[in-house]
Amino acid sequence: MADQHNSNIPAVGNQISADIPDIKENLEWHQDCLQHICNSYNATALTSLGFVTTIWVPATAILATSTNGAAAGINEYATNDLMRAYYAFDTTTEEFVCFDIVMPEGWDKGTVKAKFYWSSAAGSTAGDTVEWEIGGLAIGNDDALDAALGTAQVITDTVLAGTSGDLHITATTPVITIGGTPALGDMVHFKVSRNVGGTDDMAEDAWLFGVLIQVTETFPDASGTNAIVVWT
């Protein structure tokens, strides 16, 4: 009996030879696509793309100011014994809290945005308005610790149907320009208040659970301008 395997070798070899031009054309097409991508997204283009990240600051990491500071509190939600730390902000006197963060090392040193996570003391009415205000200051090595913040921004929120039993998350603030001369590695100080002088009309205390800060980061460029340096 003839060796069927060996007798098929020429046929297989002929088929491969016939396919080589198509394989070559396919590889060249993929090479062109890859080259186009590399040319389009050079180092400068990647640097300009940027991406965002968020930093969560809970009430437990926040301090009340000595002058007109908001009152710290802890509330237990009775059905499931859930505990929440908060700062209570008065409805008539503007009260303040503050916190410090160090930005990620890819921070573009530009503007940031914030959202507030909050609720109210019992008795609030759905549809009431609360305004939150926030400003920031970048403090670097040998900079004064007591300096003016950048222009504060305000965001308005409305009490929901669940009133004091529901979490409220504000919309995003307008862009916040950080005061000072921001640089990588700076400690950035934020000051928060309830803007009682605006359209705020909720008669009860506003309880702040925390603040979410969003920052933009950039890719390192070829010159190393935005390079993240490994600590030594």
Whether residue 152 is found in the same domain as residue 202: yes
Residue 104 belongs to some domain of the structure: yes
Q: Which domain holds residue 29?
A: 4-40
pLDDT tens digits, residue range 83-102?
Answer: 999 999 999 999 999 999 99
* Interatomic CA distance for residues 38 and 27, integer angstroms: 17
Six token digits for residue 91:
């409805």
Whether residue 193 is found in the same domain as residue 78: yes
pTM for the predicted model, two decimal places: 0.79
* Helix H or strand E encompassing 133: strand 129-139
Low-confidence residues of the chain: pLDDT under 70: 1-19, 30-50, 219-227
Whether residue 28 is found in the same domain as residue 53: no
Q: Which amino acid is at 161?
A: A
Whether residue 12 is found in the same domain as residue 87: no
Q: What are the beta bridge partners of residue 116? A: 211
Whether residue 113 is found in the same domain as residue 36: no
Domain count, the chain: 2
CATH number for 119? 2.60.120.260
Whether residue 185 is found in the same domain as residue 111: yes
Contact 104, 217 (CB under 8 A): yes
Whether residue 22 is found in the same domain as residue 69: no
Residue 229 belongs to some domain of the structure: no
Q: What are the beta bridge partners of residue 59? A: none
pLDDT-above-70 percentage for the chain: 77
* Helix H or strand E encompassing 200: none
Residue 227 belongs to some domain of the structure: no
Q: Which amino acid is at 73?
A: G
Which residues 6+ apart lie within 8 Å of 196 measured at CB?
A: 90, 91, 92, 93, 94, 131
